[in-house]
Structure 1
Amino acid sequence: MFGDLAHVDCWIFDLDNTLYPAKADLFALIDVKMGEFIQGLLGCDATEARVVQKRYFMEHGTTLSGLMRHHDIEPRAFLDYVHDISMDRLEVDPALNAHIAALPGRRLIFTNGDAAYAGRVLERLGLADMFEQIHDIHACQYVPKPDPAGYKALCAAYDVDPTRAAFFEDMARNLRPAKAIGMTTIWVNNGSEAGGHEHHPDFVDFETDHLRPFLADILGEHP
């Protein structure tokens, strides 16, 4: 497999459900916090709050983006509230960490979360010093993946040649803009909610259900 990726010198990773298994279900904790925030904002019950939350996620890429568009909320207050969760569900994967460290070239994070939250996740996973930069929702002016602007901004900000970059992501639809600017795309299909939504083989170069063996294969190592 390495021959197919030998041109890559910049490795870009989504954060949640990509650098750790979806079965950790960290989003379940965030979901609770989002529901509480929406109930307080709209004065509705938990059932209606969940309907709003999931509708905005599907229509706008993130619940935050929908809330900003329809309710003009202050994004930092929302992000601080929903990301105030325990990281106890996450575990260090020493083999995965070693594979990431061995990738030749640069390593970046591209997330619809914010850098403060991403930093906590990376710290818990033992990856805090592994990545050069975190390109987050603030850097994207609160316009989430899969809007193409965020991908172009990442490349401009960090001098990334997209034709020499690989992008790992658990949400298939978020790979389309990466492929459009020349990135090699890898769908980490590990059970994320709506992970296969809008999937199309035209913009998915590789698919794996687990990041560790895929990286081992790239490096010519046994998983």
Structure 2
Amino acid sequence: MLARLSHVRNWIFDLDNTLYPARSNLFARIDKRMTRFVADLLGVDDAEAFQVQKAYFLGHGTTLAGLMANHHVDPHEFLAYVHDIEMDVLEEDAPLAAAIARLPGRKLVFTNGDKPYALKVLDRLGLGGSFEAVHDLHAMNLVPKPAASAYQELCEAWDIDPAQSLFVEDMARNLAPAKAIGMTTVWVDNGSEQAPEVDRSFIDFTTADLSAWLHHVLEAE
């Protein structure tokens, strides 16, 4: 184990574009469904709906949070609609599963999606038995990352000491609150980041390939 990570007892992973490559474009299918949902809700064309969708994402953390705040959208209805997609672009990732299995301590998924969707993705990746728990949007009381409360509720729900934890995310801005409470942070820089460039001093490690990085960490002396 890499000496800098010998303190880690809790390995926490985001789901989308983190546990599978962004190049698979699975989230593009969800993105398209979100645009269609907004267009139907507001009675606008796809171009305007897309602008609204992204404004809500940047301003509220997720499109759903913006829709709930401004249009009282039912979160269960929205999530069921946007996650009604085929997952044929995902493949089993045996090397990643093997690396996660070797990590010492607890392993959890921390996602702004919901648990039923997360479980389908994990099964498709061959990671169905890799994690102790999925902490989803409902467990955050529908207040998503990067809200500080989401991280506090994760730690309280699973008795996690942030100082003994590592969090892996593809959205750099979602790592800042984790670092603020003492977590070690890993940014999966794979092109999925949609926020403008910001100060990223809160990032401890950066990788474009999570599986390769984990294997490197495990094999380091």
TM-score range, shorter chain: over 0.9
Q: What is residue 98 of structure 2 aligned with on the other side?
A: 98
Judge conservation of contact 1:186–1:204 (CA < 8 Å) in 2. yes
Judge conservation of contact 2:12–2:110 (CA < 8 Å) in 1. yes
Provide the C-alpha distance between the structure 2 equivalents of 1:144 and 1:197, rounded to a whole number of angstroms. Answer: 19
Q: What is residue 204 of structure 1 aligned with on the other side?
A: 203
Provide the C-alpha distance between the structure 2 equivalents of 1:122 and 1:199, rounded to a whole number of angstroms. Answer: 31
Paired residues, number: 220
Provide the C-alpha distance between the structure 2 equivalents of 1:121 and 1:127, rounded to a whole number of angstroms. Answer: 8
What's the % identity of the aligned pairs?
Answer: 57
Misfit runs of 4+, over 3 Å = 196-199
- After superposition, give the CA deviation of every residue in 1:196-216 in whole Å (9 maximum; x if it has no partner): 645433210111111011101
Deviation for aligned residue 1:153: 0.4
Q: What is residue 56 of structure 1 aligned with on the other side?
A: 56
Unmatched 5+ residue regions in structure 2? none
- After superposition, give the CA deviation of every residue in 1:173-198 in whole Å (9 maximum; x if it has no partner): 0000000110000001011041x645
Judge conservation of contact 1:108–1:132 (CA < 8 Å) in 2. yes
Indicate yes or no: 2:31 matched with 1:27: no
* Amino acid in the other structure paired with 2:156: A
SS class of match (2:187):
strand
SS class of match (2:118):
helix
Judge conservation of contact 2:188–2:207 (CA < 8 Å) in 1. yes
- After superposition, give the CA deviation of every residue in 1:73-122 in whole Å (9 maximum; x if it has no partner): 11000000000100101111111110011100000000000001000100
RMSD: 1.2
TM-score normalized by the length of structure 1: 0.96
The 10-residue stretch of structure 1 (30-39 or 183-192) with the greater mean CA deviation from structure 2 = 30-39
Q: What is residue 174 of structure 1 aligned with on the other side?
A: 174
Q: How does 1:147-162 map to 2 (within 5 A)?
A: 147-162=147-162
* Amino acid in the other structure paired with 1:188: V
Q: What is residue 10 of structure 1 aligned with on the other side?
A: 10
Unmatched 5+ residue regions in structure 1? none
